[in-house]
Amino acid sequence: MSPRNNVLLIFLICAAPIALGTAAWFFGWGTGKTGNYGELLEPRRLEGGAFQRLRGKWVLVTFDPAACGPECENKLYTVRQVRRAQGANAERIERLWLVTGGGRPRPALLAALEGSQVEPAKAVEEAAFPGARAEHIYLVDPLGNLMMRYPRAPEPARMIKDLERLLKVSRIG
């Protein structure tokens, strides 16, 4: 091979990733999937008693009435298990159940929640959360920003993976 062909070959090898990357972006090649399971939300700062007090921790927030039915209980159980699955990092996560519609949850349910924060939902807090609040589990970052939500009945393994990834790369909380 001549020196001129060698230079041309080196140039083509170096230019190929740039050309392929540009073509992939331009033509929309790729999977279109994100690496996270939860739905990312436009970050918004949450103010208020519960969120002010829980700053510095990741917070899993649920909204449900005090007369918690089977779906609600399952959601609260899932949140508890997802937190436990984080092992040593579980201390970096808090759970907050904002009780809607007034009333007080039954004592047996409160005992089963062991360590969850349970507070009445205020209208200001409810307005800050998008969508049908009872249909989601929300994630608040340690700076007090609402950032992600999961469906009411999430796949626990995928939710655990999301939180593991967040806790691994996060230097705060």
How buried is 73 (Cβ within 10 angstroms: 0-12 exposed, 13-18 middle, 19+ buried)? middle
Same domain, 56 and 100: yes
- How high is the mean pLDDT of the chain? 90
Count of domains forming the chain: 2
73, part of any domain: yes
Residues 21 and 56 in one domain: no
Range of the domain at 15: 1-29
In this structure, are 15 and 45 located in the same domain? no
| CA 92 to chain CA centroid, nearest Å | 14
- CATH of residue 156's domain is 3.40.30.10
Terminal-residue alpha carbon distance, the chain: 59
Q: Please indicate, yes or no, whether residues 139 and 116 belong to a single structural domain of this protein.
A: yes
* Model confidence, pTM: 0.81
The tens digit of pLDDT for each residue in 46-63 reads 987 789 999 999 999 999
